[in-house]
Amino acid sequence: MAMATARTAVCVLVVWALVAAGLGSVSARAPLGRKPQREFDYFALSLQWPGTICASTRHCCTTNGCCRSEPLQWFTIHGLWPDYDDGTWPSCCRRTQFEMNKILPLKDILDKYWPSLYCSSSSTCFSGKGPFWAHEWEKHGTCSAPVVQDELQYFTIALDLYFKYNVTEMLSSGGIQISNGKEYALSDVIDTIKHAFGGSPQIVCKKGSVEELRLCFDKELKPRDCLTTSLTNGSVSKTKHCPQYITLPKYDPLVLANSTGEIMKQFDDFEVSAAIYTA
Ligand code: U2P
């Protein structure tokens, strides 16, 4: 129900953002002094599995989605990435800074479905450090022209694709449930997504558990196959390869909450910096 409401809100915003920005054909411009990067070939919507990533969390802060009392039991967004068909990708294409106030109407939805799963702030293209969303917009969003022209449009399109192609639901309808210990054949997971989505996903693992799942789209935002070769040509290291049988583990935030001292210290630190940030 909450998901349906969120989806409706995002759809309205997508239409609005598309109309506001227009769908002209402006190619990605390079930051001053750099050669322009050519137009991308397709998008990868990269999703993270909190059950796997959060298992490595050692300390907490309010910005880390792993630290919430209610566990994240769905794939969350990592980013919408413009990619090339040769397995490489453009990055940091325009000198434009992330501005939180441009996406304020999306804030609650982003918090829920696009949280950072780490405490450290992320690197940005030109201004050092910032929130996870700033990193994704500056590194990938600015290279998404001519399909995406501005920050609001970048986030609304990513959210719209995320809600339209709900991977968590696709897997559970195909009998692949979140569960500690239960192993699924990698080929079954891929086939389940292929069948429900209409394109072959890319799956990244960490010690045999799903860490990321990527769905790919052409420039008209229609499903297409992801590259499988990029797994071998350097974008994903050997340790990220998936074995024949993989797991989709649950995680329990209470386990984290029990390692208290460090957590409270991190919360205090965050409250101080958050106050400065919002002042
Ligand atoms: O895979 C490790 C990191 O490389 C970046 N990446 C990977 C594949 C791709 O198609 N595009 C891409 O950018 C990601 O970097 P990030 O967005 O996290 O900075 C990914 O985490």
pLDDT of 165-222, one tens digit each? 999 999 999 999 988 889 999 999 999 999 999 999 999 999 999 999 999 999 999 9
Q: Give how far the C-alpha of residue 240 lies from the chain's centroid of Cα atoms, to the nearest Å.
A: 17
Nearest to 135 by CA among 92, 90, 82, 88: 92
Active-site positions read: 78, 136, 140
Average pLDDT over residues 133-161: 97
Bond prior to 146 in cis (omega within 30° of 0)? yes
Q: What is the pLDDT of residue 22?
A: 33
CA of 21 to the centre of ligand 1 (A): 26
Res. 61: pLDDT tops 80: yes
Nearest to 60 by CA among 267, 227, 248, 249: 267
- Residue with the smallest CA separation from ligand 1 atom 7 is 235
212-221 as b/e, with b when 16 or more CB fall inside 10 Å? Answer: bbbbbbeeee
Res. 235: pLDDT tops 60: no
Encode pLDDT of 89-115 as tens digits.
Answer: 999 999 998 999 999 999 999 999 999
- Residue with the smallest CA separation from ligand 1 atom 10 is 83
Pocket test for ligand 1, best of 46, 52, 125, 135 (most atoms within 8 A of CB): 46
DSSP string, 105-132: GGHHHHHHHS-BSSSSPEE-SSSSEE-H
CA of 138 to the centre of ligand 1 (A): 13
Q: What is the pLDDT of residue 33?
A: 54
CA of 185 to the centre of ligand 1 (A): 25
The whole-model pTM stands at: 0.82
Nearest to 212 by CA among 53, 27, 28: 53
Q: What is the pLDDT of residue 125?
A: 94
With cut-offs at 50, 70 and 90, classify the pLDDT of residue 142. Answer: very high
C-alpha span between 130 and 64 (Å, rounded): 14
Q: What is the pLDDT of residue 265?
A: 43
Q: What is the pLDDT of residue 252?
A: 77
CA of 46 to the centre of ligand 1 (A): 9
**Half-sphere exposure of residue 196: CA atoms within 13 angstroms, side-chain side:** 20
Q: What is the pLDDT of residue 119?
A: 94
Angle at Cα 259 formed by Cα 257 and Cα 263, nearest 5°?
70
Pocket test for ligand 1, best of 235, 241, 242 (most atoms within 8 A of CB): 235
- Residue with the smallest CA separation from ligand 1 atom 20 is 235
Ligand 1 residue neighbourhood (C-beta within 6 Å): 44, 79, 81, 83, 89, 139, 235-236
